[in-house]
Amino acid sequence: MRTRPTLTWAAPGDPLPRTSHLAEVAEVLADGRVLVLTGAGISTESGIPDYRGESGSLRRHTPMTYDEFTTSAAGRRRYWARSHLGWRTIARAAPNSGHHALAALRASGRVSGVITQNVDGLHRAAGTPGVVELHGNLDRVICLGCRRGSAREELDTRLRTANPDFGGTASRINPDGDVELAEEAVRAFTVVECLRCGGILKPDVVFFGENVPRARVERCYRLVDRAAALLVLGSSLTVMSGLRFVRHAAKAGKPVMIVNRGQTRGDEYASIRVDRPLGAALVELRSLLDPVPDAAATP
């Protein structure tokens, strides 16, 4: 059974109190064993937009859903034509100061693990080990028939060969790796099939309306159970795939901290809510925990 895609969420009442100060978050981190859950807000400073921020892509487009991709050849052609251009921007994106600061917090032992809802691979690129990519990663492709996995680079080479005259011009990259593209360019695009069985190829990511693999969900629950606290970074928590871990932590009596721009669907479960851009906030958190000695004061 597939879940219905949750694209938007409206706050039920007035915003709960938020702060711009990070001292309380730093105090919890200092004790260690803090599990981190990240969303699109941590990657916006790397040039990858989010879905629901002030300039989020949901204001202008509806992302691909699992049902449309699996039942509509036209839908798949549209996705792959747009993604053929867009994923290159994702692949070229570099980790920002927030990714690097979080990697340092993980290396220091204060962060016990990282779960990300992002599909851009930037946490791994920043050197954070053992990241659980809840929604998969755009750098992999899976066949829906024989389940053969392959590298996105391999598919890119095949699509270039099948579309030697493809001249689409991309505009406005979207968080799922596709772009806005003229319909005539989409219609001219040729989609390729699985080399092994001729089946449908799909990016190895969780589309809207698709379930996260159960084993991956259970792994995340275990990480929450082992942690002393949960820190959410840059996620509106609109979709249940991330919100469930916040609820699970709160039900177990663990502190929940949220650093995000604007309200989130998980605010009611949080004891600390910080409204800050992620890059600067994470750099400050790292400096609060590991102050750099004043060189002028060093004898």
Please, are residues 47 and 93 in contact by the beta-carbon 8 Å criterion? yes
> CB count, 10 Å around CB of 132?
16
- Nearest in space to 7 (alpha carbons), one of 209, 211, 260, 246: 209
CA distance 158 to 171: 23
* Arithmetic mean of pLDDT, 59-81: 87
Domain assignment present for 13:
no
Q: pLDDT of 76-123, one tens digit each?
A: 999 999 999 888 878 889 999 999 999 999 999 999 999 999 999 999
Domain assignment present for 4:
no
Domain assignment present for 1:
no
- Give the domain CATH number at 126: 3.40.50.1220
Is residue 261 part of an annotated ligand binding site?
yes
Is residue 198 part of an annotated ligand binding site?
no
Domain assignment present for 12:
no
* Number of folded domains that form the chain: 1
Output the CA angle 172-175-179, nearest 5 degrees: 35
Q: pLDDT of 18-28, one tens digit each?
A: 999 999 999 99
Helix residue ranges per DSSP H, 93-129:
97-107, 122-125
Please, are residues 154 and 141 in contact by the beta-carbon 8 Å criterion? yes
- Nearest in space to 175 (alpha carbons), one of 240, 118, 124: 118
Domain assignment present for 219:
yes
Q: In the predicted model, is pLDDT for residue 62 greater than 80? A: no
* Arithmetic mean of pLDDT, 263-292: 94
DSSP classification of residue 52: S
- Mean pLDDT estimate for the chain: 89
pLDDT the model gives residue 88: 80
Is residue 168 part of an annotated ligand binding site?
no
Task: Provide the residue range defining the domain that includes 154.
Answer: 23-289
Is residue 262 part of an annotated ligand binding site?
yes
- Nearest in space to 126 (alpha carbons), one of 109, 111, 108, 104: 104
Is residue 40 part of an annotated ligand binding site?
yes
* Arithmetic mean of pLDDT, 145-156: 97
Domain assignment present for 16:
no
Which residues 6+ apart lie within 8 Å of 215 measured at CB? none
Q: In the predicted model, is pLDDT for residue 59 greater than 80? A: no
Domain assignment present for 8:
no
CA distance 294 to 75: 58
Domain assignment present for 258:
yes
8 falls in which pLDDT band (50, 70, 90)? low
Q: Which residues are catalytic?
A: 135
Is residue 143 part of an annotated ligand binding site?
yes
Tell me the three state secondary structure of residue 89. Answer: helix
DSSP classification of residue 197: T
Is residue 220 part of an annotated ligand binding site?
no
pTM: 0.90
